[in-house]
Structure 1
């Protein structure tokens, strides 16, 4: 698998608590935007990110962002 699966063509905005998270980079997870292990065998690995405090985030679901795990508007070019 050389290209990630596009899970959606819009980002997911959500409030997250402080802590560690693993963003799905392959697009195959059924627990979007988070990894559920379905990347095994694809060549993709989840992207760990840490929030120091609770905050609203905009996470990429198209999987083409240049700033993972955050949306950078790449979905508009697909």
Structure 2
């Protein structure tokens, strides 16, 4: 499954101080997190997110967001 096959956002819980790596190539086998698949797809790489507070992050699951890796509601358009 590609990170963008879901067609709707991924909800990811983070705690203050967490660092997560979100897939940027679309080929991860552990969506939405990076699994290193970008190494086989030159020119792409993960998004690093450092959480400043406990939060729920809404990450793009359709590939249409203009604010990757975050969802901007483009899946509804």
TM-score above 0.5, yes or no: yes
Where structure 2 has 5 or more consecutive residues not aligned to the other structure, the ranges are none
Instruction: Report the equivalent of 1:57.
Output: 57
TM-aligned CA distance change 1:50 to 1:58, over 3 Å: same
Q: Which moved more, 1:60-69 or 1:25-34?
A: 60-69
Instruction: Report the equivalent of 1:24.
Output: 23
Instruction: Report the equivalent of 2:33.
Output: 34
Whole-angstrom CA distance in 2 between matches of 1:14 and 1:49? 11
> Residues 9-61 of structure 1: CA distance to partner in whole angstroms, max 9, x if unpaired?
01112321221111101111111111000111312111111111111111112
Please give the TM-score of this superposition, normalised by the length of structure 1: 0.77
TM-aligned CA distance change 1:7 to 1:27, over 3 Å: farther
TM-aligned CA distance change 1:44 to 1:64, over 3 Å: farther
The 4+ residue runs of structure 1 with deviation greater than 3 A are none
